[in-house]
Chain A
Amino acid sequence: MTTLGVWIAALLTLFILSFLYKDNPFYKFAEHLFVGVSAGYGVAFTYHNILIPNLYVPLFKQGDYTLIIPLILGIMMVLRLFPKVGWVSRWPLAFVVGVTAGISLITYLQSNALVQIRETLRPFNTFGNVVIAVGVLTGLTYFFFSKEHKGVFGKTAKVGIWFLMITFGASFGYTVMARISLLIGRMHFLLSDWLGLIK
């Protein structure tokens, strides 16, 4: 079974890699299979890890009847599939959006705004602290579009762009690293598990 599994995995890997030559039926087959099994995986885990332990058992076996509310809201969500009654899905959606907005407002304010601002305003006792303070202030100046980028303001924004360019360069370097790692993973599988060329 293991050998068969390795062969299936190797063939599917080659099907996807065949796209590099050009789009072809093998790639399309693998692509659709990928979407199908991914969705099926989601179904199985939603059933075993959420619907049974968090809804069915507490509602029908332990008698927590408050869970009727999310059950009804959930069914209303699925009704979006039927255009005539699809409007009812706005209720559960409104709940999801409301909860997300409420949590986001506080958490983003606390950890991504206030803490970041506080830590930017450290004493200028190291060169690094100065670099960070200048970079953040000039970067934020660049993002301020309500005033035309001219004069001192424009020059400050220009320094901000330089910092952002270094940031994007670093991100590009890391992106290359990530993509190469994924290819290494696949090649390692083909050379090791399938062909047995690496021990």
Chain B
Amino acid sequence: MSVIEKLRNIDRRFIFVAIALTVIVPLLRPIGFPIAVSPSVQRLYDAIEQLPPGSKVLMSFDYDPSTMPEVYPMNLAIAQHCFSRNLKVVGIALWPMGVSLGQQALETAAEECGKLYGTDYVNLGYKTGGMVVILAMGRDLRETFPEDFRGTPIEQLPIMEGVRNLNSFKLVVDFSAGDPGVAAWVMIAQARYHKKVGAGCTAVSAPAFYPYLNTGQLVGLLGGMKGAAEYEKLLQSQGPATAGMDAQSIAHAVIIFFILFGNLVMLITKRKTERRSL
């Protein structure tokens, strides 16, 4: 078997080891590549900066642990930003596991900023139904969410005073890993109730939401761990996303190398076959 054939049929476990190492080594020995902030991230940051203190922000935790490394850091960063600006945060979830992850992010950020549950932030929990839940909230939030996720009636929560429906919120931020998620919030909260909607989503789904950014249906968009790292840069904090950016860079470089090398092997094989046939 020639070297080229060996390379073509390389055991995929060698590739697995290479990828593992390209992630592990930069995590242990960070390089510190500079992070550039993209316009879509800056726009969401600016939208939050422009809100007057005391404004209520609705956060929807529509993700689960399978995408936690991407979405949780942006959830945490935006919660920190909101609390540092003295904004009130009301959380809900269209994905059941989003409740626990969102609560963890809110509690961590609240502890840093000295904010209180029930007064400065609340988590109203999970409802199934996706788009229908948003539609119902647009008309009457209290009928849809009569209690918070722990079972406390919302009449007993000071932050919920005066909150009737989506109109009580200055901004909606959706943290999304799929459906229901960003599309549902844009289609109902933005299109029907004219709310400002921003989003943080997995990198897989981000390209599909660029048409919403272009039309202004989304005020800003964070795509994947890189989006979260950019937001952390704007907040001037060293969060979990920033820590992973060197590994992300090197892994991308290695995958690009794999693609180019795979194509080179294909070209050489093709030339050899052509020569033989001549």
Contact = CB atoms under 8 A, between A and B. Distances in A.
Task: Judge: A and B partners, yes or no.
Answer: yes
A191 interface: yes
A136 to B, nearest CB: 9
B13 A20 contact: yes
B252 A183 contact: no
Nearest to B22: A180
A192 to B, nearest CB: 8
Nearest to A108: B187
Interface residues of B, number: 58
A182 B67 contact: yes
Contact of B125 (A48, A58, A182, A184): A48
Given A46-B128, A57-B146, A188-B243, A178 B202 contact: yes
A100 B20 CA distance: 43
Interface in A36-50: 41-42, 45-46, 48-50
A188 B244 CA distance: 8
A57 B20 CA distance: 51
A53 B147 contact: yes
Contacts of A85: none
Given A42-B96, A110-B187, A181 B248 contact: yes
A54 B146 contact: yes
Contacts of B248: 177, 180-181, 184
A184 to B, nearest CB: 4
By secondary structure, the A interface counts as: helix
B225 A49 contact: no
Interface in B1-45: 13, 16, 19-20, 23-24, 27-28
A107 B96 contact: no
B215 A116 contact: yes
B99 interface: yes
B2 to A, nearest CB: 28
Interface stretch (B165-173, B206-214, B260-268, B270-278): B206-214
A21 interface: yes
Nearest to A99: B132
A45 B64 CA distance: 14
B240 A188 contact: yes
A197 B29 CA distance: 10
- In this complex, the interface size class of chain A, counting residues with CB under 8 Å from chain B, is 35 or more
Interface of A: 20-21, 41-42, 45-46, 48-50, 52-54, 57-58, 99-100, 103-104, 107-108, 110-112, 115-116, 119, 132, 167, 170-171, 174-178, 180-188, 191, 197-198
Interface of B: 13, 16, 19-20, 23-24, 27-28, 66-70, 96-97, 99, 125-128, 131-132, 135, 144-147, 149, 151, 183, 186-188, 190-192, 202-204, 206-208, 211, 214-215, 217, 223-226, 240, 243-244, 247-248, 251-252, 255
Counting from the closest, the 10 A-B pairs by CB-CB distance are A185-B69, A178-B203, A181-B225, A111-B191, A107-B187, A184-B244, A49-B125, A177-B203, A45-B96, A119-B215
29 contacts: A45-B125, A45-B126, A48-B125, A54-B144, A54-B146, A103-B132, A107-B131, A107-B187, A107-B191, A111-B191, A111-B217, A116-B211, A119-B215, A174-B207, A180-B23, A180-B248, A180-B251, A181-B69, A181-B225, A181-B226, A182-B70, A183-B19, A183-B20, A183-B251, A184-B27, A185-B69, A185-B225, A187-B23, A191-B28
